[in-house]
Amino acid sequence: GAVVSQHPSWVICKSGTSVKIECRSLDFQATTMFWYRQFPKQSLMLMATSNEGSKATYEQGVEKDKFLINHASLTLSTLTVTSAHPEDSSFYICSARDAGRQSSYEQYFGPGTRLTVT
């Protein structure tokens, strides 16, 4: 149980285009999902917290107009990188908390999406 999927697993796009990444909780409901970014040989940096049915909460320094987050249902959150540039190339990872197991304080991570902007 507690599986989180991401789609696509990797994507290459041209500079100036937009890319959408999906994060799905497959066997549980997630009122809260998190989006992280990981640069090579670095740790995960929280970008934003996505709450179902409301606006995402962005971390300081993250451009909300560039990284659009939508959490339209209890099992799906999307991250859209708008007008992507080569510096946006990174490994994007989402995680989700099980709404039915808040007391576990555990986040379940997706497998990540490798974005390369040429």
Partner 1 sequence: AQSVTQLDSQVPVFEEAPVELRCNYSSSVSVYLFWYVQYPNQGLQLLLKYLSGSTLVKGINGFEAEFNKSQTSFHLRKPSVHISDTAEYFCAVSVGSGGYQKVTFGIGTKLQVIP
Can you give the binding site for partner 1, defined by CB under 8 A?
A: 4, 6, 31-32, 34, 41-44, 46, 49, 91, 93, 95, 97, 102, 104-112, 114
C-alpha dihedral, 6 to 84 to 89 to 96, nearest 10°: -30
Residue 15 vs 101, nearer CB to partner 1 = 101
Residue 83 vs 104, nearer CB to partner 1 = 104
Task: Tell me how far, at minimum, the Cβ of 110 lies from partner 1, in Å.
Answer: 5
Task: Tell me how far, at minimum, the Cβ of 46 lies from partner 1, in Å.
Answer: 7
Residue 16 vs 111, nearer CB to partner 1 = 111
Per the structure block, which two tokens stand in for 3? 């599986």
CB 50 within 8 A of CB 77: yes
Task: Tell me how far, at minimum, the Cβ of 89 lies from partner 1, in Å.
Answer: 14
Residue 59 vs 83, nearer CB to partner 1 = 59
90 by Cβ neighbours in 10 Å (0-12 / 13-18 / 19+) ranks as: buried
Nearest to 50 by CA among 76, 16, 21, 15: 76
Query: Could you count the other beta carbons within 10 Å of the beta carbon of residue 67?
Result: 19
